[in-house]
Every structure is written in structure tokens, then in C-alpha cells.
Amino acid sequence: MPPIVAIYISGAIFMALNNLLTQQALGYYYFPNWTMGIILLLVAPLAAIFSVEMSVIISARATDVRAAQLLGALTALPFLAIYVMSEIGLITLNTNNLLIISGVILLVDVILFFISTKTFQREEILTKWT
């Protein structure tokens, strides 16, 4: 199953369970809303593309599989920074900010696409890692 399908399934389960738990207190169903729509339809796919492109660049530069795996974990840092900033109140994850974040991720994805296509040499990786 592609990771984006897992994200959509887990998002649907999250929204359904959240609605079941909060409908009595709120008096209405909170989900789906525009914020969750932007997260599921823009941010999540763009973040998945970002992680794949970063993995390609890292694997092209790494000397072995362990180094590539360790460096690959660093691709989560920008999203961790967004999470921490939202938790301490530096930014709010409203629709406008999520659209800005999506635009930035899209721009980074386009740049990384060109970098990853230039740096990835399959034959070199196969000979270097064996």
C-alpha cells in the first residue's frame, strides 16, 4: 500500500473517531474542515515527495546504507520544527498558514527534483555500496 493511502485511511479514522468523541460537547461534527483538507490534500503529498527526493539525494551522496539511513532521518526536521513552532505559539496552523507552508514545500520539491535528477547515478551507487 502506498504511504499516501495509509495517510488518507488514518486521517479518515482520526476524523471519524474525533467526531464521535466531540459531537456531544460541540453540538456539531468538527471534521472534515478546510484545515484537514489542506493537510491531507496538499501538505501530506508534498511532504511525501520531499522525503523521497531527499532520500534520493542522500543515497547518492552517502557511502553506505547505514549512513544513508541516518542522514535520511534528518528529513523529518523541517516538519518537526513546524510542529514545535505551532505548539509553542509561534505560528498557528490555520488555512492561510497551511497554504503558505504548502507553497514553500512545493517550491522546495521543485528545486529538489532538479537536484535529485542531477545527482542520482544508479550505477555509481551500486558499485560504491557493494
Average pLDDT score over residue span 82-98: 94
Distance CA 105, CA 81 (A): 14
Neighbouring residues of 49: CB distance < 8 A, sequence distance ≥ 6: 109
Three-class secondary structure of residue 94 per DSSP: coil
pTM of the entire structure?
Answer: 0.81
C-alpha cell at 94: 490555520
**pLDDT tens by residue, 8-51:** 999 999 999 999 999 988 889 988 899 999 999 999 999 999 99
Residue from 9, 6, 96 nearest 48 by CA? 6
Percent of the chain exceeding pLDDT 70 equals: 92
Split at pLDDT 50, 70, 90, the class of 4 is confident
